Structure 1
Amino acid sequence: MNRLVSILDGNTFLVCDERGDLEPSLDVATGLFSFDTRFLSTWQLTLDGERLRTLSVDEEQSYRTRFFLSSDRSARVQNSKVSVIRSRTIGGGLDEEVAVLNHAGRDVDFTVRVDMGSDFADLFEIKEAPRQKGNSTATIGARELRLTYRRGRFLRETVVSASEPGHIDERGMTFTVRVPAHGEWSTRLHVATIIYGARGEDARASLPLGGSRTPAVIEAEHRRLVERAPKLGCDFTPLEQAYRRSLKDLTALRYESLALGVHLLAAGLPWFMTLFGRDSMLTGLQMLPFMPDLVPPTMNLLAGLQGARLDDFRDEEPGKILHELRYGETAGFEERPHSPYYGAADSTALFVILLDEYERWSGDGELVRALEFSVRHALDWIDTYGDLLGTGYIWYQTRNPHTGLENQCWKDSWDSISYADGRLPGFPRATCELQGYAYDAKMRGARLARTFFGDPAWADQLERGAAALKERFNRDFWVADGEYYALALDAEGKPVDALSSNMGHLLWSGIVDEARAGKVAEQLLSPRLFSGWGVRTLATDQGRYNPIGYHVGTVWPFDNSIIAWGLWRYGFREEAGRICMAMCEASRYFNGRLPEAFAGYDRDLTDYPVEYPTACSPQAWSAGAPLLMLRVLLGLEPHGEHLIIDPAVPPGMGRIELLDIPGRWGRIDALGRSRNL
């Protein structure tokens, strides 16, 4: 598989090779997808029976791509007498124009073939050799190929139509054409993806934006959203480039919910193009000074789907905020629990944290009052179902041993939580950042109770609970002989003593004792954790350290943005600046787009950050990282009706100017400069 190219608009996206072709793969999620179903798994262009060679790919716009290709018949591209341009746009479906250009001085006959097929695989099945449980059919019409998949009431269709006449069979379309000397032939192919609802029509047709959108509509919407965001002017080109890329990516990741028809933010391409509780709320926190309008619909939907019963299959509990919502076949037939799934121990506390932070920025007390029941329910979950062992901590252990997640913190891969020597603890587990989130949620919940809910007694109770949690946490999680906080507690209450990046989340939450904050900052910026490109998820001397392990040594941009925010909170401005500078410098090697994760090799070992092979890109909370880092560098903090601006720009960045920052104060400008200039 060569380099992958993606194109997306909301929940519809396509991932292909650099020729524009699709071939089924178990390694990566190639194909045309919409709402967790793959509508095209094969889309392969040949000219006179031969594959084409890539000259260049234009992928500047997220929703539009052009592939410049030549025939492989010539040993040298410069001798080729024919070239092909594939111009592609996406918007609910896919439109592609295939243009064959004859550079010879005579008329030439060509056979243009596009192989087409769909396995209608559920996104969950891509890595598991998808097997259809329903029936597939192919129907040939006038200039149209209709591929249908039905399993009971689950019905999906892919309809491909062409603007030019050709021969259509069940596996694609063939065009036999004569192209005049120095002339051109083209056809427009339209791929409609149809998600049938209970009434027998496309379920997206009733949404405000409908099923399909033209490039002009998409472009206008993207431009409008980007123009509403604050304007950045700075001397440090990598930061400016990352900011522009982030705004574009976050705009492209917006999609319309099938359930409510409101705009939400998908977590990341290709695996997470749906609503995630944790990811959506952490991205919301990152975006508040820039795109605050995306927060209310997310909060309302999460509140509407808040857990209301005990359901072992879905890991659902009363008051719990969901982890993930899926629309595919496996969720629909309850072969997987994602309709929705509640296997996250952190999303419930984050719900309270984001709501409070949003109000502090926006002054939107109406939303807070509307969600009072959900806030009370969430805080009650922390002290009841969240505390599995009755020790005053949040623990997790899946109720669904067959398809539930083992680790229900943000590091949710199977081997992410370990002792220093590499052993894995049993369940339940209580990771350290969960306790920080719980502390922060209680403190913020107290403010909401006192200010908006008219319940000072409950506010006092929450603050007492937070104080007790902080004292207990600093006693039980501190590893005295190493002077750092343990990654977790095991079921016996003993420290799971791996040294990890999670400590930075503790600083952000405020649960760290002031006397220990300096040592935490020192550990985070030590060579064991800090690669030079960012803070690793796991220190280099730990038993499971692997620089290309998903959560055991890679560098995650979102993680680093939260760490920088935590360092800033405790006054470690220089250390926060070092992380922000490293992240910006790393972004240059990804064309401004920070990926989900990259390898944790020492900067002295590599001249550039090494890509993680299956990282999501774009990913929402990675796209949000540059935005949060701007907040940290400029020292932006709401205080009543005012915005505090207290910049600390690291040497080498020069001037940073952010104009029209929205909030309860209206719009305001912020300026910071490196101290050495």
Structure 2
Amino acid sequence: MKERVSILDGNTFLVSDQRGNIEPSFDFPTGLFSFDTRFISTWLLTLNGERLQALSIDDAQSYQTRYFLVPGEPTHYLDAKVSVIRSRSIGASFEEELTVLNHSVQEAEFTLRLDIGADFADLFEIKHQRHKKGRTTPTAGENELRLTYRRGGFHRETVISTSAPGEIDESGMTFRLRIGPHGEWTTRLHVAAVIYGARGEDIRATLPLGGHRTAAAIHAEQDELINQAPKLSCDCQSVSTAYRRSLNDLAALRYESIALGVRLLAAGLPWFMTLFGRDSIFTSLQALPFLPDLVPPTILMLAALQGSRLDDFRDEEPGKILHELRYGETTGFEEQPHSPYYGSADSTPLFVILLDEYERWTGDAALVRQLEFPARAALNWIDTYGDLLGTGYIWYQTRNPETGLKNQCWKDSWDSVSYRDGRLPEYPLATCELQGYAYDAKRRGARLARTFWNDPAYAERLEREAAALKERFNREFWIPEREYYAQALDPEGRHVDALSSNMGHLLWSGIVDEARAGLVVQHLLGPRLFSGWGIRTLADDQGRYNPIGYHVGTVWPFDNSIIAWGLWRYGFREEAGRICDAIIGASWYFEGRLPEAFAGYESDLTDYPVQYPTACSPQAWSAGTPLLLLRVMLGLDPQGEHLIIDPAVPDRMGRVELLDIPGRWGRVDALGRSRTPHEQHGAH
């Protein structure tokens, strides 16, 4: 049985235990959330004073769940005289239908109690276990409980109503039931999470795409998006399962921005249900061959919120692309800098990379011309504010030592960058993959300048700078005695010499000298980094290695998908297939839904990939991973008005056929077959 069950529809999501209950927790955020605020922190159902146990859970849809419950502790012999069905759905509001069924031949009396509470905690308050500074006022009315939170101008409200009469008090609802033989009783509970604006209006009611959507409307919208994607037919069930789950999760993770009223991709549930620069860009790159319409809203939003000034609190700099956008209380009162926060050194070059890749795939020259100024500003940031030490590299060091991120690469936890012996370096740091992104951004920026901006002189300058960066990088980041690239340079220019997965991103960017690519691949797929389930973030003989450490030994599906793309770029098709095979094989054990990360244990030590305890699931760039792996396996690459298809399907996967791949060429089909007979991944 699952420990936690979640339902979501972009802006709003709910996380409960396997019985449908919510109780205050700071270990993992359970509750009803919307725009970074927890609107329900207690939702506990009892029958005659007893908690209920789940017989079964139906959670096939992302926005609907049904629980089949009975009283008492589960035993081998169960003869329940009563059962309860909880049917819930989520949109802009949360609805739950409670049905109590009397299975006896006698009339029976029951007391059904629902304890209700709302702490209105900000997600950052949950993470850091901070106490509230405002005041919550409960008001019990006729068939309605209203919970109101105020702190100055910050005003949120949870309104719970019931269709059946009950006894309403300030901490919940009680229903005293008399049900006839084989009879039933039902009530429908409606929970509205109200976000008040400066003028006292409910902000979500003003959203142009609709603040209050029915389950049918959500279903239709998600189906419309999924039906735009290519149709997959293949012999390997784990590939099919992962593909369908990915499309479903990407559809469910879309949310409506308060700022622009467009649908964007949230990064992941539960901690990251908002726009992230880096995550949104990587997910867009992964999904581009399948759902290209997801890209323009994201890239336009990132351009609209591009940094325009120096702001130490928010780590903002002119031309810089945001890291994270939040709407909660701690952001509103500037206790957190996320309005938005710009603490990532990679989102800016990645912005240029995505713009170019999007045009290569779709032929949308109008968007490239529209975003010329933001793209030039991003390229300028690389050489100015990005180059803190004036060495020609991107460095990072937060301007906000109190609440800013120490590490501003994709591995942004505090201990993710280290020397081999486990020591942590001083700042600023120049991690290796940032230089690869800068190299790729300059080369792609040159193509855009020459082809669309009518500026050949700028294009030539960018190409010269890219070539010089590649030459300097390969000279100064390479560790000859270890035959791999340093994870970073420290402020003195010394190698931060831990062996990590970062090198795979270098292959994707193209900055690696051809003569060294084979050595990089040997390390990536060698026993120190490759667990059998995927490539670890840190090699298992390094000082800080921990197979269940966030960025110091776990396997990240997104990371592996970018590495596989890099291996493909350098012609290591069989090796790329090993990664595809491993990650798709791992997805089988997660019912097709790859989590944010999983443990880095050796595959011969475990019969299945071990879950990372607080991993986000679903997470956008993990949902995008099977899509990018399909692109790699089928060798899909846009060249002018044509799509090159050069498949190299891993052994035992059999036939992989992708129909109606969208792009500037219209729609085309791709087919690949492995050289050896198909075997089911679940049998690994």
User: Following the alignment from structure 1 to structure 2, what is the Cα–Cα distance between the partners of residues 14 and 662?
Assistant: 34
Change (3 A) 1:455 1:582: same
Alpha-carbon contact 1:435-1:473 (below 8 Å) kept: yes
**Structure 1 residues 334-390: Cα deviation after superposition (integer angstroms, max 9, x where no partner):** 000000000000000000000000000000000000000001100000000000000
SS at match of 2:53: strand
Match of 2:545 in 1: 545
Give distance in 1, aligned partners of 2:74 and 2:272.
41
The structure-2 alpha-carbon separation of the partners of 1:189 and 1:396, relative to structure 1 and needing over 3 Å to count, comes to same
Per-residue deviation, 1:332: 0.5
SS in 2 for 1:205: helix
Contact 2:266 2:274 in 1 (8 A): yes
Shift of 1:209: 2.8
The reply on whether 1:119 has 2:119 as its aligned counterpart is: yes
CA contact (8 A) 1:148 1:156 kept: yes
Structure 2 distance, partners of 1:597, 1:408, is: 19
What does residue 472 of structure 1 align with? 472
2:534 corresponds to: 534
Does residue 125 of structure 2 align to residue 105 of structure 1? no
Where structure 1 has 5 or more consecutive residues not aligned to the other structure, the ranges are: none
Residue deviations 1:637-671, cap 9 Å, x none?
00000000000001100000000000000111000
Within a 5 Å distance, the mapping from 1:263-278 to structure 2 comes to 263-278=263-278
Q: CA deviation at 1:75?
A: 5.7
* 1:535 to partner: Cα distance: 0.2
> Which residue is equivalent to 1:395?
395
Aligned to 2:568: 568
> Could you list the per-position Cα deviations for residues 47-72 of structure 1 after superposition, in whole angstroms to 9, with x for gaps in the alignment?
01110111111111000001111011
Contact 1:70/1:77 (<8 A) preserved: no
1:316-331 paired onto structure 2 within 5 Å? 316-331=316-331
Shift of 1:172: 0.3
- The question of whether the paired residues in 2 share the 8 Å contact of 1:74 and 1:80 is answered with no
2:472 maps to a residue whose letter is R
Alignment match, 1:303: 303
SS of residue matched to 1:675: coil
Letter in 2 for 1:124: F
The alpha-carbon deviation at position 504 of structure 1 amounts to 0.5
Q: Do the aligned residues in 2 keep the contact of 1:303 with 1:321 (CA within 8 Å)?
A: yes
State the 1:127 CA deviation: 2.8
Secondary structure at the aligned position of 2:519 is classed as helix
How big is the shift at 1:77? 5.5
User: Which piece of structure 1 moves more, 154-163 or 121-130?
Assistant: 121-130
Distance 2:388 2:293 in 1: 36
The amino acid that maps onto 1:87 is S
Residue 100 of structure 1 deviates from its aligned partner by 0.7
Give the corresponding residue for 2:419: 419
2:410 paired residue number: 410
User: Residues 189 and 76 from structure 1, CA distance in 2 versus in 1: closer, same or farther, beyond 3 angstroms?
Assistant: farther
Compared with structure 1, are the counterparts of its residues 53 and 77 closer, same or farther at alpha carbon in structure 2 (3 Å cutoff)?
Answer: farther
Confirm or deny: 8 A CA contact 1:263 1:297 kept in the other structure.
yes
How far, CA to CA, are the matches of 2:530 and 2:74 in structure 1? 49
Secondary structure at 1:604's aligned position in 2?
coil
SS state at 2:322 partner: coil
Shift of 1:2: 7.1
Deviation at 1:404, TM superposition (A): 0.2
In 2, are the aligned partners of 1:12 and 1:92 still within 8 Å (CA)? yes
The equivalent residue for 1:45 is 45
How far apart are 1:78 and its partner, in Å?
1.9
How far the C-alpha of 1:199 sits from its partner, in A, is: 2.2
| Aligned mates of 1:639, 1:565 — CA distance in 2 | 16
Distance apart, 1:135 and its partner CA: 1.6
Greater displacement, 73-82 / 518-527: 73-82
1:288/1:176 Cα in 2 relative to 1: closer, same or farther (>3 Å)? same
Change (3 A) 1:278 1:197: same
Higher mean displacement: 69-78 or 253-262: 69-78
- 1:450 is matched with which residue? 450
Query: Matches of 2:2 and 2:668 in 1, distance apart?
Result: 46
State the shift of 1:152 in Å.
1.3
| TM-score, structure 2 normalization | 0.98
Q: Which whole-Å CA distance do the structure 1 matches of 2:185 and 2:645 have between them? A: 59
Aligned to 2:681: none
1:253 counterpart residue number:
253
Q: Distance in 2 between matches of 1:143 and 1:132?
A: 28
Distance in 2 (CA, whole Å) between partners of 1:472 and 1:384 is: 18
Kindly provide the amino acid, as one letter, of the partner of residue 334 in structure 1. Answer: E
Q: What value does the CA root-mean-square deviation take over the aligned residues?
A: 1.0
Distance 2:384 2:183 in 1: 73
> Are the aligned partners of 1:417 and 1:424 in contact in 2 as well (CA < 8 Å)?
yes
Q: Distance in 1 between matches of 2:232 and 2:61?
A: 20
Q: Distance in 1 between matches of 2:386 and 2:354?
A: 19
Task: Please report how far the alpha carbon of residue 131 of structure 1 lies from its aligned counterpart in structure 2 after TM superposition.
Answer: 1.5
Matched with 1:597 is 597
- C-alpha separation between the residues in 2 aligned to 1:493 and 1:209? 51
In the other structure, the counterpart of 1:68 is 68
- Offset, 1:179: 1.1
- Residue 631 of structure 2 aligns to a residue whose secondary structure is helix
CA distance in 2, matches of 1:224, 1:530: 38
Q: Structure 2: which 5+ residue stretches go unaligned?
A: 678-684
For 1:130 and 1:420, the matched residues in 2 are separated by 35
- Aligned equivalent of 1:556: 556
Runs (4+) off by over 6 Å: none
* Displacement of 1:204: 1.1
Which deviates more from structure 2 when the two are superposed, residues 310-319 or residues 50-59?
50-59
- The separation in 2 between residues aligned to 1:476 and 1:75, in whole angstroms, is 65
Tell me what 1:81 maps to.
Answer: 81
User: 1:157-236 counterparts in 2 under 5 A?
Assistant: 157-236=157-236
Q: Distance in 1 between matches of 2:186 and 2:480?
A: 71
Whole-Å separation in 2 of the counterparts to 1:409 and 1:396 = 8
CA deviation after TM superposition for structure 1 residue 222, in Å: 1.0
CA distance in structure 2 between the partners assigned to 1:491 and 1:629 by the alignment: 36
Residue 369 of structure 2 is matched in structure 1 by 369
Q: Deviations over 1:1-40 (max 9, x none)?
A: 9700000001200000000000011100100000000000
Gap change, CA 1:169 and 1:442, over 3 Å in 2: same
Cα deviation, residue 74, structure 1: 7.9
Give SS of 1:61's match.
coil
- Matched residue of 2:203: which SS? coil
Structure 2 counterpart of 1:139, which letter?
T
SS of 2:45 mapped into structure 1: strand
Q: How far apart, CA to CA, are the structure 1 residues paired with 2:29 and 2:491?
A: 37
Provide the TM-score with structure 1 as the length reference: 0.99
String of CA shifts for 1:231-267, please: whole Å, max 9, x gaps: 0000011011000000000000001000110010000
Shift of 1:134: 1.3
Residues 1:582 and 2:582 are matched in the alignment: yes
**How many residues end up aligned between the 2 structures?**
677
- The AA in structure 2 aligned to 1:629 is L
Letter of the 1:525 counterpart: L
Matched, 1:355 2:358: no
Answer whether contact 1:322 1:343 (CA < 8 A) is retained. Answer: yes
Task: Write the letter of the residue equivalent to 2:551.
Answer: H
